[in-house]
Structure 1
Amino acid sequence: MGFLETIFGAIGDLTWGWSLIPILVVFGVFITLMTGFVQFQFFKRMFRVLSSKNQSGDPTSISAREALLVSVGGRVGGGNIAGVAVAITLGGPGAVFWMWVIALVGMATSLVECSLAQLYKRRQENGDFRGGPARAIIHGLGQQYKWLAIVYAVCLIASFAIGFNAFQGNTVAGAAEESLGVSRYITGALLTVISGFVVFGGIRRIAKVADVVIPVMALGYILMALVVIVMNAGDLPAVFVSIIQNAFGLEEAVGGGMGAAIAQGLRRGLFSNEAGLGSAPNVAATAHVRHPISQGITQSFSVFIDTIVICSCTAFVILLGDVYVPGAEIDGVVLTQQSLASHLGDWTRYFLTFIILLFAFSSIIYNYYLGENALSVITKSKLAINGLRVAIMGIIFLGAVAPGATAVFFFSDPAMGLLALVNLVVIMMLLPTCLRVLADFRKQLKAGVDRPVLNPDDFPDLDLDRTAWTGKVEN
């Protein structure tokens, strides 16, 4: 075990330690420039997915809004509550600014990776779609790269489906035990049963549950933060000034100054919104849409919701309060809890516990689907899929009842680092293809087509599933 920990530790150091975050940032800026600042051009269009007018005419298909909510549920998690607090504690208020910057850059990266997942998706026998970086590798780069798709799939299962679900179970059980006094065994059992009911229903049931849970989760948290912001509206300009001054070293709140702000902001922002990590494209590919770029735009909106909206809510709750002390050692969740309580009272601890439960649950079902989709690249066996479902239920329960057991999943972060590197290589190799599809989308808009449609005949050289681009669908 010690040898394995050393190996995975080295992988983690080589990825997250020094190379991956700068690469994600540089690639994000490069993609933004190559796509002509696509995230800003189509920003207004992102909100169309929320309209009921744009829903699919096929009630059995996964709509763009459902795919959006599943991905929001996956992106939004502990990082939005605890991670932001840690970033501010270690990097000062300026870390918030750099979280915003990496989100704006990441919106372009997410649009490209999710558009590629849509482009190369495959229709299944039951009518569902499967796609993602693994299938983009096989059908976009060619069968000779299938080994790379397998590496990607194994890393996705190891990091998200197995490791991160153990941590989510631990987060839920810990929050319930501390705030409500509920036994970890009770919480673990309930979470395992509820999660099992959802995941055994496949992506359609996951999407239907997300369509209900995610709006309640996100809107509840946002409304609570808005109450705090309104109550402290007079202090808001000073908070913005502090964020900007700290971001550029004009005011030093913690040791390391501007460097600490940049490092913490970028790191926590990337962990939170997952842009470029290769996870969200798996969900993006499930949506029934007219054109790949339309779902890319929708998933870009998901990054905006995660970081610009929800992470900012946490930041303002903390910075508008009097609990935060620059450089002080305090657990991230505790800082957010105490800050919220200082504004609105102790009852908010229970509210935040409830929100954490929903955040964790939404992440669990999202992480499960990522694992299922990755496994389908390796094998078509239904027995294997059901085996994964049972295994994940056991992992959730283990993580909930035995906090120390999560240390067993030390391979999660290194696996995610490899996952991200593979995904970035794929993005760059297929970026010219994505730019062609983006040009087609823009050309149709310029010609007056309000809802562009992908015509496979316009791309005869690409290995596309023609059946995936037929039928009445949404924008």
Structure 2
Amino acid sequence: MFAEINTFLNDLIWGNILIYLLPLLGLFFTISSRFVQFRYFFKMFNILKDTAHDKDGHISSFQALMLSVAGRVGGGNIAGVAVAITLGGAGAVFWMWVIALVGMATSFFECSLAQLYKEKDGLDSCVYRGGPAYYATKGLKQKWLGVVISVLLIITFGFAFNATQSFIISTSFEASFNLPTWVSGLIVTAVFGVTIFGGVKRIARMSEVIVPIMALGYLLIALVVIVLNITQIPSLIVMIVTEAFNPSSAIGGGMGAVIIQGAKRGMFSNEAGLGSAPNVAAVAYVAHPVQQGIVQSFSVFIDTIILCSCTAFIILLSGVYTPGVDGVQGVLLTQNALIEHIGPLGGYFVTIALFLFGFSSMIYNYYLAENSLNFFSKGNVAVFNIFRVICILLVIWGSFQDLASIFAFADLSMGILAILNMIVITLLYKPVLQLIKGYERQLKEGIEPVLRYNDYVEYNFEKDTWKEIVDNINDKKLKE
């Protein structure tokens, strides 16, 4: 009965509420901000260049971006896209792109809010905390809502998703290298434990190393496939667009199935609006909230437009996939497609990629949970250490157990989290529009934007936090 109720609620939330709520509100944010994700797309590179290496021990904009990409980029980029193509055909890829492009605006809004309402960490004055729980509590003055959001984040990411990721990694290594699950489980647990006990700065540094390697490696292998099939690319693009509006008769459910599969893949993959990425966006040390909003919207582009497209091209350029024919799905479909392109090494590459994607997601998931725990504990070392031990034990347990039922429950809790977060950022969209206007005003004045915090005091954010940041930045400019 519990499983049936869980399935019913999951179908209701993801298949009937979020499937419409996320893209419609994403479109609203896009229009109300005058297409901010496109207007400032290239400015993101200057922001990253200027804040890539901070000398005062703060977490840089680049490190926060890499930690965010670490979570967004996961097994779903390999397995999820394959499932979307299997059930929705090539046209699903087009709708996946559309969802990502409007989702970039949603990510901009939620991450700008996370920056505005961030506060200092209780243990390290160079670390900041923020996210949906914080901007719901301060921006809407609803503490109970912040508590509910924090609990959902801890259960979903800290416990369920990490245990499940451990299972996926260990079973993948067993299948490819005949390595016992307990061996790979212990290795993953050891590296995971060393990382999380180093605190958020070590987590950020680990992501800064792992994410570029895994993303560039996957992109490189996809480029090899594209080069080997370069003459087929124009016709492939035409097929994707054509199938988006006129799907093959072999695809069950017609155009509706195509749109739903592409939209679901986009939502699950890029996480725009789900309430997870803002927790990471808040840690970045930047001069203005809009700066990190711009950067974080780019992480949606990296995840879906670039990396999910890599998987789609690898599959669609192979002879492994046949529309409407039941066959291999998920990771195995991607793996078989890559083997066809580059030989047996392709199968091993997918396994290694899954490990890197999975492990990076684990440290990202842990950070989301830790940040939510901080909402209650305010930097209590003993509480953090007990929580870390629990998370490590769950990772060990997960490497031995198939946690499909727990993962399904986590999907439900994440769906509830997404609905709450989308309601909150919709109610708080005006402060973001004001931030954009203030940012653009300074650009027109020919100065490098910093938050003029006295212009926004009615929004109940931590003024002292931003005063210290802006004063430090101005002092640096004077010294230079």
Q: How does 1:414-429 map to 2 (within 5 A)?
A: 414-429=412-427
Q: Is the 8 A contact 2:129 2:371 kept in 1?
A: yes
SS of match in other structure, 1:290: coil
Cα 1:253–1:438 shift into 2, 3 Å: farther
Residues 330-388 of structure 1, C-alpha deviations (whole Å, 9 max, x = no match)? 22100100101101011121111111100000000000000011111123333222222
Cα 1:439–1:253 shift into 2, 3 Å: farther
Q: Name the aligned partner's letter for residue 386 of structure 1.
A: N
Q: Which residue of the partner structure matches residue 301 of structure 1? A: 298
Residues 398-417 of structure 1, C-alpha deviations (whole Å, 9 max, x = no match)? 111122x4434442011001
Q: How does 1:183-198 map to 2 (within 5 A)?
A: 183-198=180-195
Cα 1:239–1:337 shift into 2, 3 Å: same
Q: Is the 8 A contact 1:246 1:253 kept in 2?
A: no
Q: Which residue of the partner structure matches residue 43 of structure 2? A: 45
Partner Cα separation in structure 2 for residue 42 and residue 285 of structure 1: 19
2:33 to 8, 32, 35: 35
Q: Which residue of the partner structure matches residue 400 of structure 2? A: 401
Q: Name the aligned partner's letter for residue 299 of structure 1.
A: Q
Q: Name the aligned partner's letter for residue 131 of structure 1.
A: G
Residues 130-159 of structure 1, C-alpha deviations (whole Å, 9 max, x = no match)? 0001000111111xx111111111111111
Residues 258-297 of structure 1, C-alpha deviations (whole Å, 9 max, x = no match)? 2111010000110000000000000000000000000000
Q: Does 1:340 align with 2:341?
A: no
1:452 to 431, 438, 449: 449
Q: How does 1:265-276 map to 2 (within 5 A)?
A: 265-276=262-273
Q: Is the 8 A contact 2:61 2:284 kept in 1?
A: yes
SS of match in other structure, 1:287: coil
Q: Name the aligned partner's letter for residue 225 of structure 2.
A: V
Q: Is the 8 A contact 1:82 1:333 kept in 2?
A: yes
Q: Which residue of the partner structure matches residue 389 of structure 1? A: 388
Partner Cα separation in structure 1 for residue 19 and residue 56 of structure 2: 40
Q: CA deviation at 1:119?
A: 0.3
Q: Which residue of the partner structure matches residue 178 of structure 1? A: 175
Partner Cα separation in structure 2 for residue 120 and residue 461 of structure 1: 12
Q: Which residue of the partner structure matches residue 259 of structure 1? A: 256
Cα 1:7–1:255 shift into 2, 3 Å: closer
Partner Cα separation in structure 2 for residue 392 and residue 366 of structure 1: 13
Q: Which residue of the partner structure matches residue 150 of structure 1? A: 147
Q: CA deviation at 1:213?
A: 0.6
Q: Which runs of 5+ in 2 are unaligned?
A: none
Q: Which residue of the partner structure matches residue 210 of structure 1? A: 207
Q: Name the aligned partner's letter for residue 383 of structure 1.
A: A
Partner Cα separation in structure 2 for residue 289 and residue 339 of structure 1: 42
Q: Is the 8 A contact 2:51 2:286 kept in 1?
A: no
1:18 to 13, 16, 33: 16
Residues 441-467 of structure 1, C-alpha deviations (whole Å, 9 max, x = no match)? 111112222x31002111121222234
Tell me the TM-score normalized by structure 2.
0.94
Which segment drifts farther, 121-130 or 96-105? 121-130
Q: Name the aligned partner's letter for residue 114 of structure 1.
A: C
Tell me the TM-score normalized by structure 1.
0.95
Q: Name the aligned partner's letter for residue 346 of structure 1.
A: P
Residues 199-220 of structure 1, C-alpha deviations (whole Å, 9 max, x = no match)? 1111100000111110000000
Partner Cα separation in structure 2 for residue 44 and residue 21 of structure 1: 29
Identity of aligned residues (%): 49
Residues 82-134 of structure 1, C-alpha deviations (whole Å, 9 max, x = no match)? 00010001000000000000000000000000000000000124111000010
Q: How does 1:231-270 map to 2 (within 5 A)?
A: 231-249=228-246, 251-270=248-267
Q: Name the aligned partner's letter for residue 473 of structure 2.
A: K
Q: Is the 8 A contact 2:114 2:278 kept in 1?
A: yes
Q: Which residue of the partner structure matches residue 137 of structure 1? A: 136
Partner Cα separation in structure 2 for residue 10 and residue 146 of structure 1: 30
Partner Cα separation in structure 2 for residue 453 and residue 157 of structure 1: 33
Q: Is the 8 A contact 2:97 2:305 kept in 1?
A: yes
Partner Cα separation in structure 2 for residue 326 and residue 238 of structure 1: 16
Q: Does 1:411 align with 2:409?
A: yes
Q: Which residue of the partner structure matches residue 65 of structure 1? A: 62
Q: Which residue of the partner structure matches residue 462 of structure 1? A: 459
Q: CA deviation at 1:6?
A: 4.8
Two-structure CA RMSD over aligned residues (Å): 1.7
Partner Cα separation in structure 1 for residue 121 and residue 131 of structure 2: 14
Aligned residues: 468
Partner Cα separation in structure 1 for residue 254 and residue 455 of structure 2: 52
Partner Cα separation in structure 2 for residue 137 and residue 79 of structure 1: 29
SS of match in other structure, 1:18: helix
Q: CA deviation at 1:427?
A: 0.4
SS of match in other structure, 1:411: helix
Q: Name the aligned partner's letter for residue 414 of structure 2.
A: M
Q: Name the aligned partner's letter for residue 180 of structure 1.
A: F
Cα 1:59–1:208 shift into 2, 3 Å: farther
Q: Is the 8 A contact 2:457 2:463 kept in 1?
A: no
Partner Cα separation in structure 1 for residue 394 and residue 274 of structure 2: 23
Q: Is the 8 A contact 2:52 2:63 kept in 1?
A: no
Partner Cα separation in structure 2 for residue 147 and residue 375 of structure 1: 15
Q: Is the 8 A contact 1:57 1:472 kept in 2?
A: no
Q: Does 1:350 align with 2:351?
A: no
Partner Cα separation in structure 2 for residue 307 and residue 138 of structure 1: 31
Q: Name the aligned partner's letter for residue 210 of structure 1.
A: S
Q: Name the aligned partner's letter for residue 315 of structure 2.
A: I
Q: CA deviation at 1:250?
A: 5.7
Cα 1:250–1:77 shift into 2, 3 Å: closer
Residues 15-38 of structure 1, C-alpha deviations (whole Å, 9 max, x = no match)? 113111111111111111111111
Q: Is the 8 A contact 1:56 1:288 kept in 2?
A: no
Partner Cα separation in structure 2 for residue 271 and residue 164 of structure 1: 13
Q: CA deviation at 1:166?
A: 1.4
SS of match in other structure, 1:19: helix
Partner Cα separation in structure 2 for residue 318 and residue 7 of structure 1: 35
Q: CA deviation at 1:228?
A: 0.5
